[in-house]
A = this chain, B = another copy of it.
Amino acid sequence: MISLTEENYLKALFNLANHAGEVNVNELSKQLDIKMPTVTSMMKKLAGKKLVYYESYKPLRLTEKGKREASLVIRKHRLTEMFLAEKMGFGWEEVHDIAEQVEHVQSAAFFDKINELLGFPKLDPHGAPIPDKNGKLAWVAYDKLSDCHVGETVRVSAVVHTSSEFLKFLNNREIKLGTRIKIKSIESFDSSMVISYDNRPAETLSHAVCERLLVEKKV
C-alpha cells in the first residue's frame, strides 16, 4: 500500500524528472516544501519499496514500478481536473487545488466513472496528457512560445506550471487552449514578445509568460 504522503512524493518526482529521469533531493525538497533530511529518509523508504533508486549523493530516479504508480496518481489528478472543469463548471485556474485532494481517493470505480462520463479524455484542462490505466503516458513534445520566431503563427496547446495566478492572467487576456497567436516582434533586451490573436490589439507577453505557453507550430 502506498500512503497519501508517499503518493505526493512519487507525483513530485515524476513531475520534476528531467530528460534523464533524474531529480535532486534539493529540488524535490523545494517542490514539496519539506526539508531535505525528511526527503532523504523518505527516499530510503521508497527505495525499500522498490519505487525509487536511491544512492547517497546521487540524483534520484523512479523505478519502473515507481513511474507506474506516479502515473496512476497523476491520472487520477488529471481526470479529476477534467471532471471539475467539464462537468462541474470550474475554471481551469480553480481545478488544481481541489484535484490535489480528490486524487487521493482510493476507488477505481470512482475514477472509472469520471473517465466514462468525460468520454475517455486524452488531455486535462491545461493540455497535459492523461496517463492510461496502466500508467502509460503519451507525451507530445510541444514548443515553448519563447522558442518561436517573429512572424510565426502558433496554436496554444498546453500551459506549464499552472499556478492559479498565471491562469488568471491568461483568463484576463482571454488566452486559452486553441488560441492562435501571431508573433509580431521580440524585444531582444528582455525577450518579451509582442503578439496578436483573436483580432485584438497587439499585446506584450513577458519571457516568463512565453516560457509557460506550449504551442504547436503546424496550425
On A, residues with C-beta under 8 Å from B are 84, 87-90, 94, 97-98, 101-102, 104-107, 109-110, 113-114, 117
Contact = CB atoms under 8 A, between A and B. Distances in A.
Contact of A94 (B89, B97, B109): B109
Contacts of A98: 105, 107, 109-110
A101 B110 CA distance: 11
Contacts of A101: 104-107
Contact of A107 (B97, B105, B113): B97
Contacts of A107: 97-98, 101
Given A97-B107, A107-B97, A109-B94, A88 B102 contact: no
B113 A90 contact: yes
B105 A117 contact: no
11 contacts: A87-B87, A88-B114, A88-B117, A89-B113, A90-B109, A90-B113, A98-B105, A98-B107, A98-B109, A101-B104, A101-B107
Pick the most buried of A87, A109, A114: most chain B CB atoms within 10 A of its CB.
A109
A104 B100 CA distance: 12
A34 B187 CA distance: 65
Nearest to A87: B87
A88 B115 CA distance: 11
Contacts of A105: 98, 101-102
A84 B88 CA distance: 13
Nearest to A117: B88
A86 to B, nearest CB: 13
A81 to B, nearest CB: 12
Contacts of A109: 90, 94, 98
Given A88-B117, A89-B113, A94-B109, 14 more contacts: A84-B110, A87-B87, A88-B113, A88-B114, A89-B117, A90-B109, A90-B113, A97-B107, A98-B105, A98-B109, A101-B104, A101-B105, A101-B106, A102-B102
Nearest to A107: B98
A113 B94 CA distance: 12
